[in-house]
A and B are shown apart, each in its own frame.
Chain A
């Protein structure tokens, strides 16, 4: 922090503007949480009273309940796949010196660069063509979602783990070798613990970005097989009541908890 305390009116201006803008970002979420407890039948302000019925209602609606669990399952599985695919790739990228390394890095990052709606559409068409050819249903099934979500998680995992790996002082592995450790021991007892921030941050971002995905899921959900975000979207087409608020609040609480817990153990700023 700069030992400079001049410019009080300037500082005041910046503080005011910043608080307003940050409020603009955060307040909508505050409102939706608050309004999830309103007893107003039509979602409106000010509150007529408070109730928990919307939460009960959200739980009763199959789309939301099943959607929540489906989203959780799909996101967890795809995060695991991102880890299995991404960890070795990160090693190769961080440690290797070979021609085409930049090109390969770009390819692995490409899912982030292609718009969700375009890659979602491409996957949809691709899966349906496979279905026409082989009668194997992918679009509308768990497999389709898992593939799409793994595409989302992989670049996040690779980027964050590679950053972590690059930050590892290679001398500590050499020191372990000089003290008698074999390559697997070095990996599990020296390298892995040191890149823990990257692994945790990568998993967190892979999981959450899969959970909140909209554009790819749009194409890949099916009857009785819908994700939470799509369920919300469909519900909003016809009704606008605080059931939305209840679902939103639960999702916000889940993500906030994940972030805070992760940040407590692994300073997220260090992973970037």
Chain B
């Protein structure tokens, strides 16, 4: 039985629509990432799940029970806030014990469960410290422990990693995922970072302007975005406008005139773009083999990214494409300088047709 169901949930603030027609089934133990730019409604959705915001319409059902009208303190959900919201006047142990105190758990059992929770996040030796005396990463783990110790039905995380530095973010990402899997906890994680969403979730929910754009496992959404928005958000800067060929679905006619060969793409009706990953495009100063699709242009900007080199190429048609090549130091071709005439080419199977948005 699905653990969390959202049925046509909507939130309106007067005329402003924050969330519209949110419908989702989340399975027991599933890790869902709500991903999108700021203002897309992901945090509002999470806060509706937590009970901090009243839904204007729709129902929220957890474990078969309709919780739509329940206040936050009766939903038994673990909520981890973006700025951790640790009680500054209580020690780490007291913070973690708070939810148990609210449930009238006995002193001995509380102490035991708090100890186990702190062990799980490796903070046992900090039990008597105050939050202000801990680093950001440590505070985040305390917040996590506090939410988990109450054995919630659902774990809700509101951009928990955004205040951490890059290294900590990587570490905590893995830790959160491991904890979640070991506990089998249904989890909903809000983020604006597609890398975080992809590396942690079982399914990703891409949101924009209060609505769901696309739902699916990370590899599916990443490799097969369905709209220009999704493609753009997931890091595909190359969008060439055009239309499918009338007679077959093996060719794509770009607005700039060229015909591109397709192989195996799922056709999307209506106005569309051809979306190409920079790493799927090969760049060379020599003319490529005839099996590939190809476009000619000149290198405009070259940026070095450690393991890769990005080329911004101005096509003869006027559009700009980004191609990514392996760095010379790692076996790639020598760097091509600004102004060099080049060919961009890719196999027919690369590239996705996405709808216009």
Give complex CA distance A7, B53 in Å.
Answer: 10
Residues of B within 8 A of A (CB): 44, 47, 51-54, 71-72
CB neighbours (8 Å) of A7 from chain B are: 71
Instruction: Tell me the chain A residues, 1-45 only, with Cβ under 8 Å from chain B.
Output: 3-7
14 more CB-based (< 8 A) A-B contacts, given A5-B54, A7-B71: A3-B44, A3-B47, A3-B52, A3-B53, A4-B47, A4-B52, A4-B53, A5-B53, A6-B51, A6-B52, A6-B53, A6-B54, A6-B71, A6-B72
Give complex CA distance A42, B54 in Å.
Answer: 56
Q: How far is the CB of A133 from chain B (nearest CB, A)?
A: 58
The number of residues on chain A lying at the interface, defined by a beta carbon within 8 Å of a beta carbon of chain B, is 5
Give complex CA distance A5, B11 in Å.
Answer: 12
CB neighbours (8 Å) of A4 from chain B are: 47, 52-53
Give complex CA distance A129, B44 in Å.
Answer: 72
Is chain A's binding surface mostly helix, strand, loop or mixed? loop
Q: How far is the CB of A1 from chain B (nearest CB, A)?
A: 11
Interface CB pairs A-B, < 8 A, 16? A3-B44, A3-B47, A3-B52, A3-B53, A4-B47, A4-B52, A4-B53, A5-B53, A5-B54, A6-B51, A6-B52, A6-B53, A6-B54, A6-B71, A6-B72, A7-B71
CB neighbours (8 Å) of B52 from chain A are: 3-4, 6
Give complex CA distance A245, B33 in Å.
Answer: 67
Q: How far is the CB of B228 from chain A (nearest CB, A)?
A: 30
Identify the closest chain A residue to B11 (Cβ): A3
Identify the closest chain A residue to B18 (Cβ): A3
CB neighbours (8 Å) of B44 from chain A are: 3
CB neighbours (8 Å) of B72 from chain A are: 6
CB neighbours (8 Å) of A6 from chain B are: 51-54, 71-72
Give complex CA distance A3, B46 in Å.
Answer: 13
CB neighbours (8 Å) of A3 from chain B are: 44, 47, 52-53
Instruction: Identify the 3 closest CB pairs spanning chains A and B, nearest first.
Output: A4-B52, A5-B54, A6-B71
CB neighbours (8 Å) of B53 from chain A are: 3-6
Identify the closest chain A residue to B70 (Cβ): A6
Give complex CA distance A4, B52 in Å.
Answer: 6
Give complex CA distance A4, B51 in Å.
Answer: 9
Give complex CA distance A3, B19 in Å.
Answer: 14
Give complex CA distance A3, B72 in Å.
Answer: 14
CB neighbours (8 Å) of B71 from chain A are: 6-7
Identify the closest chain A residue to B44 (Cβ): A3
Identify the closest chain A residue to B53 (Cβ): A3
Q: How far is the CB of B262 from chain A (nearest CB, A)?
A: 46
Give complex CA distance A5, B52 in Å.
Answer: 7
Identify the closest chain B residue to A2 (Cβ): B52
CB neighbours (8 Å) of B54 from chain A are: 5-6
Give complex CA distance A5, B56 in Å.
Answer: 11
